[in-house]
Structure 1
């Protein structure tokens, strides 16, 4: 496999699927990352394809224990007071120098929650069924232990629903459902995700500020054609937005922002508009605003 891995995606659903051919996993609140163990080296790839090993020296060191030819898919998380801390992961990912990254690795050690095994010993497993990939993943990571660990998984729907109700206090966003017989759906929304109601996927239709470092994004939620301006983007997300927003100019439009009024923004071309996870907020007047969380 090459260093550029096209990761599997998930589409949002309102309920867990029924039936006996599904596996359910907790959805951790972290940054998507592919770990590639090469001969004598480790490559860490973000969902966008950007190489991020420099920011996570602790995970590079841990991944050296993997057999050469291993490729993992998962989330990098930081635990704080017994729950995942997304802001801490953002700080880790934004480390601009090796010295800063090493200091943050000591202050905010990362863990890797692996949920798929894409290659083993150089053999591509993406066409193999999930159940086989899962078994091999657990067999590989079990003897190693933290900070590389397989996420929990169950085929029992009632257990999954219990997780959904009880794990949010630990920073778990929801659940991902995967058919046990399916291959790895790289580049497709072949998995299902059930998230708690305060987060939703939205299509980015525009931005304010510079296209290479937007101040805020304009999004449209599923089933609602009304544009909504997000709250100002944190520094790390501005940089990511500058990398994933499609180039081109669709003109200028105006969005009405809560507490601000009319705001002019640049419209993105329809081709290649990215999907952004937003956290919903309601004001005391019943209006809606959105906090950008991450690109999907």
Structure 2
């Protein structure tokens, strides 16, 4: 399997899906990280394919427990005061490597793993069903005595228990639930999973920006209804995070929103959360990058 791997994605749904062959997982509020255990070391990849090992060295060191050849998919999560803190994870991801080391000393990260993509014996297992991959994941963690900060997210087929998780775990910083079909394979780039979350946000695809790519002023986003709109003026942390994404994007072209505002159009493959109450307006409010 070649680096970087394209990760499976989720689409937001308003209510908890119910049906046969559905599996529910708490949705931990962190940064998506793929953990690659190579013959000599551990590398960590973002959803967009960037190498962020130096920002999450505490997790990279923990990953040395794994046998070479294992590739895992999960979330880098940080607890502050016993509660998951997305802001702390975002600060770690947007910091310099030197600053990230200091932050790791204050608040070590946890790797909430929910999938296995490659195994030293079975090779690429993305074509296996979710149920079979989940069993393999649990087997790897148990056989090799893998301990925190690497731990598997809980999973259940009991919709009543899933509803309890949804209602109760919010106080711990869990933002909702992920729903996966047991027979489904792992399809990178596909929104094959579903997510139900507490926040009043919707997902929007980043299709462009205004200003320089190194310091974007606004994002152009495609909303769920197909409209393209500009975001509010980006604050420095969000602008810096998007600058890293845009640095690897192809050359932009000139385009205009439905309201006539010009922007630099580019394919990013990046999704942001937008406050749902702002989607009726020409300017929408972006809360964070997913």
Shared fold (TM-score, shorter chain, > 0.5): yes
TM-score by length of 1: 0.86
CA contact (8 A) 1:45 1:53 kept: yes
CA contact (8 A) 2:35 2:45 kept: yes
Residue number among 277, 282, 285 corresponding to 1:290 in the alignment? 285
Provide Cα deviations, 1:44-63, integer angstroms capped at 9, x if missing partner. 11111111111111111100
CA contact (8 A) 2:48 2:270 kept: no
| Pairing 1:181-220 to 2, within 5 Å after superposition | 181-220=183-222
- 1:145 Cα shift? 2.1
Give the distance between the partners of 1:275 and 1:69, measured in 2 at CA. 28
CA contact (8 A) 1:216 1:233 kept: no
Number of the residue aligned with 1:107:
106
Give the distance between the partners of 1:232 and 1:155, measured in 2 at CA. 40
Number of the residue aligned with 2:78:
78
| Pairing 1:5-154 to 2, within 5 Å after superposition | 5-97=5-97, 99-121=98-120, 123-142=123-142, 143-154=145-156
Q: Per the alignment, in what secondary structure is the counterpart of residue 58 of structure 1? A: helix
More strand by share: 1
Task: Say how many residue pairs are matched.
Answer: 283
> Could you say what the CA RMSD is over the residues aligned between the two structures, in angstroms?
2.5
Instruction: Tell me: CA distance 1:58–1:275, structure 2 relative to 1, closer, same or farther (3 Å).
Output: closer
Mean Cα deviation higher: 83-92 or 206-215? 206-215
- 1:202 Cα shift? 1.1
| Pairing 1:158-169 to 2, within 5 Å after superposition | 158-169=160-171
Give the distance between the partners of 2:15 and 2:209, measured in 1 at CA. 32
Provide Cα deviations, 1:192-220, integer angstroms capped at 9, x if missing partner. 11222412101334322212331221324
Residue number among 219, 240, 252 corresponding to 1:248 in the alignment? 252
Instruction: Tell me: CA distance 1:166–1:206, structure 2 relative to 1, closer, same or farther (3 Å).
Output: same
After TM superposition, the runs of 4+ consecutive aligned structure 1 residues lying more than 4 A away are 252-256, 286-289
Give the distance between the partners of 1:90 and 1:111, measured in 2 at CA. 14
Mean Cα deviation higher: 44-53 or 236-245? 236-245
Gapped regions of structure 1 (runs ≥ 5): 257-263
- 1:157 is aligned to 2:159: yes
